[in-house]
Amino acid sequence: MDKYRVEFHCHTIYSKDSLVDPRKLVETARRKGLDRIVVTDHNSIGGALEARNLAPELVIVGEEILTTQGEFLAAFVREEIPAGLEPLEVIRRLKEQGAFISVSHPLDPMRGWKREHLLEILPHIDALEVFNARCMDEKFNDDARAFAREHKILGIVGSDAHTLMELGRATLTVAPFTDAEGLRKVIASGVENVRLSSPFVHLSSRYAVFAKKRGWARSPRKSDFAAG
């Protein structure tokens, strides 16, 4: 295979605001022609491990990690990192695992970082998410892209898919890679294919939270699969 079409940001039922079954995620990724998907549930690697067990050639274990300042988006994660830690502590733990470290929707004012906090972590991360398909305003992505360009840091893109219909809306096509170090080497020459999702997709996330609270949907806490 000459190139990989990569989805860097997607969720499963292991995120509180998604109802996507890992098996359905794998099936949909294959049907949509994705070559690699980084499964990035909120503060959990459970869904990623379950999906990788089904399709080890397709799935990369990731995690979206909430810190005291904003969220990281990590790939090639081996050990789950809890929410609520200081950013530099999360970076330290991810580096110990040899993970690829990026930042989710960095300048989205509703769920992003303050610029001063981004500047503090820039020397320690690999990339910024310069396009997030769930941003409510294209300007938020434009600001992230300009910030990355100004500070000469690599950019990735992600669908931030919480539903199957969103999967693959924002992908990066890159040369083949097998690990975090390989990924770092190919991103700069990647080709983006991006589209914003409808603002109405956020309603699906609200429904997922509501359904789980009412006991209408599966709400796993930990994976049945051991990290490795």
Helix, strand, or coil here: 198?
coil
CB 87 within 8 A of CB 72: yes
**DSSP run (H or E) holding 50:** helix 46-54
pLDDT at 224 over 60: no
pLDDT-based confidence at residue 46 (cuts at 50, 70, 90): very high
List pLDDT tens digits, range 119-149. 999 999 999 999 999 999 999 999 999 999 9
pLDDT at 100 over 70: yes
Q: Walk me through the domains of the chain, giving residue ranges and CATH numbers.
A: 4-213 (3.20.20.140)
| Strand-by-strand arrangement of the 59-66 sheet | 154-158, 127-132, 100-103, 71-75, 59-66, 36-39, 4-10, 170-174, 191-194
What residues contact 43, with CB distance under 8 A and at least 6 apart? 63, 64, 65, 66, 80, 81, 82, 83
Name the residue among 51, 11, 39 with its Cα closest to residue 165: 11
List pLDDT tens digits, range 190-221. 999 999 999 999 999 999 999 999 998 877 75
DSSP structural state of residue 10:
E
Please state, in angstroms and rounded to a whole number, the distance separating the CA atoms of residues 104 and 52: 22
| Mean pLDDT for the stretch of residues 54-58 | 98
**DSSP run (H or E) holding 59:** strand 59-66
- Comparing 220 with 98, the larger pLDDT belongs to 98
Say what the pLDDT of residue 226 is. Answer: 43
Helix, strand, or coil here: 161?
strand
Please state, in angstroms and rounded to a whole number, the distance separating the CA atoms of residues 28 and 46: 19
List pLDDT tens digits, range 109-125. 999 999 999 999 999 99
Q: What percent of the chain has pLDDT over 70?
A: 96
pTM (2 d.p.): 0.95
Q: What are phi and psi of 144, to 5 degrees?
A: -65, -40
Say what the pLDDT of residue 221 is. Answer: 57
Say what the pLDDT of residue 222 is. Answer: 53
- Mean pLDDT across the chain, nearest whole number? 95
Say what the pLDDT of residue 220 is. Answer: 78
DSSP structural state of residue 196:
P
Say what the pLDDT of residue 87 is. Answer: 98
Say what the pLDDT of residue 210 is. Answer: 95
